[in-house]
Structure 1
Amino acid sequence: MMKAALYIRVSTEEQAMEGYSLDAQEKKLLAYCQDVADDVEVYDIYRDDGYSGRNTNRPAYRKMMEDIDEWDILVVLKMDRIHRNFRNFIMMMDDLNRKHKDFRSATEEFDTTTAMGRFVINLLQGIAQLESEQNGERTRFVMEEKAVKLKNTEAESRTLGFNPPYGFGLSEGLLMAVPEEQDVVRRIYSEYLENKSLAQLADGLNRDGLRTRRGTRWDKDNLSTILHNPIYAGYLKWSGILCKHYATAPVSVMTFNEVQTLAASRSRNPKGRKADLIREEDGKAELVLSNVDEFGDF
């Protein structure tokens, strides 16, 4: 019997689509292993909830590849569940081949041991990437139009359709503050302005038992995301367009700009010594890209 790693994934955009939920995928894969693939037994199920297939920055995917020596075959419901990027798929297949691991899709028939089978897989992956990029183009167009038209009020603030980040939640579709998380956000901004590095910030938060919303440890990447997202200063951002929201913001625009200035000043690369600052004027706001040595008053 071969040990099977079952991989399931759903992106934020797909979460509401019938048949794409993680539970639906898991149910179908388990049924496949029980009724069709009688030569495999489940080693583990790796679930990535709310992650795009266009890159490999997915915790469950990375854990699965770290465990590659423990299983014999990777099983997915469809190929687009594992990757929507042709190059990443080819790199994964190279890794599997080097380790003599098999790959199987529960709903697509192909044989990875033959040249024709590998050609079909590459062709299907190319089509999947094309579809993903076209969907991305349509999404960007719709989101940009939505960002331009969005008008929030003090009575209610809506998002641009994305899941609210750490520090915020939704109540009946409206953006709301999560006080205990915003306390952590304020601490992150405050300690960063005390000249602590991202590594020092992460160590302190993890040492105090604080975790991200996903229950993972703090690191440089998720801290950098919080420090550069204008939502924490009262603005939603899409493709350079700012939309005011009226949920409680944990930091002021001034504090946000101070953090951007400090982050830019720490860059050793001259090209990185620039920052997107929020400039408010006549009831409107915009992002202004400024050189660290040429900051004006905002």
Structure 2
Amino acid sequence: MRAAIYVRLSRETDETTSPERQRAACEALCEARGWNVIVVEEDIDVSSFSRGLDRPGLQRILTRLAELDVIVFFKIDRLARSTVDFAEIMRLAEHQSVALASATEPLDLTSSMGRAMAKVIAVFAELESDTIGMRVSSAHEHLRREGRYTGGRVPYGYLVVSNPNGAGKVLAVNEVEAKTIKRIVERVLAKDSLMQIINDLNKEGAPSPGHSSRQTTGKRSDSKQWYTTTLRSLLGSPQLLGQVIEDGKPILRTDGLPLVNRPPILDTDTWQALQDELERRRYDRGLFRGDDGAIRYAEQYAKLEERLATLKERQRTAKPGGVKAEPTGETHAEQWKRSDVAGKRDLLLNAGGYVEVAPARRGGKKLDTSRLSVYFGEEGHMRRAAAAKESEQEPQAADSQG
């Protein structure tokens, strides 16, 4: 039988399930069964819980199922942490008549009872994974409250250093980035536009918060450019006050106040002035700017309401108008020649011009002219009127269904 050995380890620190030990146990099983090992794949520092089936080593095995007879792994939880993922791997393997074999668990996965038992073990593996996740989250929460760095994205303006008061790591102010932040804040408070600020930052090559040169650990965006969204996110983050943020929200102390356990980059007064300026800019981007914008908006709204009431009254008492045809003495070609784009559009509409575009049958950048149907005269007027009527009825039908 042709065998593939699969080895996985979330973090290469657990000696009890080291890659070497996993591989040795799998090779011993293959030797005892007389199986021929044709491929060995490893996923090291890859979490089955967070990545699911999206693991490079596992995917390479799954793409070669037609060449295999059995997949050998150390334990079921090395193959999958989720019962859903395990069931999917089992389904894919069965479809190609490939067996699954655990090197340390006495299971015969070629029988219905063995597969059922494997799924039960997978359930307990998933439960154990959830329990470990809860313990890790609790440990991280404790470390954060102790002022320790727990990994992940390093906030802009900070860097990771050894804890001077004990074990682990802590965040300290990155003087270069802090200087950049303070320079940005000064320009914002001086009423410089955010677009001009980011243009200057990009020209001088100042690393952005997502720049790969400054992110040594954790998830990063790999964006080497500054953008207005990047800048707004940075300037609006309470992390500049030394607060600890998790899932976008400050962690609170037992008294309800934000947890602050790292040196702040901005003082409270500067921070508040910055937020006031950013809020003013958000408001000023609207139609009514300035301190009296709300008053002017209310006045304009009242005028529009009055104007609307007047128009409705005129509409109620209006008499139908008539149409009188007056010859211009020009041909369509002459009028077309002397008209601008808007005039040509009106000329086509008045002549009953109407174009129907059928759905595309295949992709492509070139326009398929066979999709176009052009109508003029009375037929064009009738088709346009029918299309307008359909567009008015669609929202009503949607409302009735809702």
Identity among equivalent positions (%) equals 23
> Are 2:238 and 1:279 equivalent residues in the alignment?
yes
The separation in 1 between residues aligned to 2:98 and 2:226, in whole angstroms, is 51
Residues 77 and 232 from structure 1, CA distance in 2 versus in 1: closer, same or farther, beyond 3 angstroms? same
Name 2:37's counterpart in structure 1: 42
Q: Deviations over 1:126-170 (max 9, x none)?
A: 11111111111111111122122125xxxxxxx426799xxx999
- Specify the code of the residue in structure 2 equivalent to 1:146: L
CA distance in 1, matches of 2:127, 2:73: 20
State yes or no: 1:63 paired with 2:60.
yes
Q: Which has the higher contact order (CA 8 A, sep 6+)?
A: 1
2:150 maps to 160
Which amino acid counterpart does residue 91 of structure 1 have in structure 2? E
Query: Distance between the aligned counterparts of 1:234 and 1:283, measured in 2?
Result: 20
Aligned CA distance change for structure 1 residues 275 and 71 (closer, same or farther; 3 Å):
farther
- Give the partner amino acid of 2:131: Q
Task: Answer yes or no: is the 8 Å Cα contact 1:8–1:22 preserved in 2.
Answer: yes
Aligned residue number for residue 70 of structure 2? 73
What SS does structure 2 have at the residue aligned with 1:7? Answer: strand
SS at match of 1:19: helix
Aligned amino acid, residue 115 of structure 1: S
Amino acid at match of 1:7: Y
Q: Per-residue deviation at 1:281?
A: 4.6
Q: Measure how far apart 1:72 and its partner are.
A: 1.4
Cα deviation code 1:242-295 (max 9, x no counterpart): xxxxxxxx999x94874386xxxxxxxxxxxx9996334544464757xxxxx7
Q: CA deviation at 1:233?
A: 7.3
Structure 1 residues 260 and 23, CA, compared in 2 at 3 Å: closer, same or farther? farther
- Offset at residue 69 of structure 1 (A): 1.5
| Offset of residue 111 of structure 1 | 1.9
2-structure distance, mates of 1:285, 1:257 = 24
Question: Which protein has the bigger strand share?
Answer: 1
Distance 1:276 1:110 in 2: 57
Change (3 A) 1:170 1:85: farther
- TM-score normalized by the length of structure 1: 0.56
Deviation per residue, 1:6-45 (Å, 9 max, x gap) = 0000012xx22222111221122222222x221x111111
For residue 114 of structure 1, report the CA deviation from its aligned partner: 2.5
Q: Distance in 2 between matches of 1:111 and 1:119?
A: 10
Pair 1:71–1:236, CA change in 2 (3 A): closer
> Which residue number corresponds to residue 52 of structure 1?
47
TM-score, normalised via structure 2 length: 0.43
User: Structure 1, unaligned stretches of length 5 or more?
Assistant: 152-158, 177-192, 195-225, 238-249, 262-273, 290-294
Aligned counterpart for 1:259 among listed residues 208, 226, 230 = 230
How far apart in 2 are the matches of 1:234 and 1:106? 37
1:167-212 per-residue CA deviation (whole Å, 9 max, x = no partner) reads: x999997699xxxxxxxxxxxxxxxx89xxxxxxxxxxxxxxxxxx
Whole-Å separation in 1 of the counterparts to 2:161 and 2:20: 23
The one-letter code of the counterpart of 1:128 is A
- Structure 2: how far apart are the matches of 1:109 and 1:33? 14
**CA apart distance, 1:234:** 9.9
2: CA distance between counterparts of 1:82 and 1:234? 29
SS state at 2:62 partner: helix
Distance 1:228 1:148, change over 3 A: farther
**For the Cα contact (< 8 Å) 2:9–2:18, is it kept in 1?**
yes
In 2 relative to 1, CA 46–149 (structure 1 residues): closer, same or farther, beyond 3 Å?
Answer: same
Rounded to whole Å, the distance in 2 between the matches of 1:113 and 1:285 is: 51
- Structure 2: give runs of 5+ residues left out of the alignment: 172-197, 200-208, 250-277, 282-402
CA distance in 1 between counterparts of 2:108 and 2:118 reads 9
Equivalent-residue separation in structure 2 for 1:75 and 1:9 (angstroms): 12
Report the structure number with the largest CA radius of gyration: 2
Kindly indicate whether the alpha-carbon contact (under 8 Å) linking 1:56 and 1:88 is maintained by their aligned counterparts in 2: yes
Contact 2:153–2:217, Cα closer than 8 Å, also in 1:
no
Task: Verify the 8 A CA contact 2:152 2:218 in the aligned structure 1.
Answer: no
Instruction: Measure the CA separation in 2 of the matches of 1:112 and 1:126.
Output: 16
Counterpart residue type for residue 26 of structure 1? R
Q: Distance in 1 between matches of 2:54 and 2:227?
A: 27
> Displacement, 1:125?
0.8
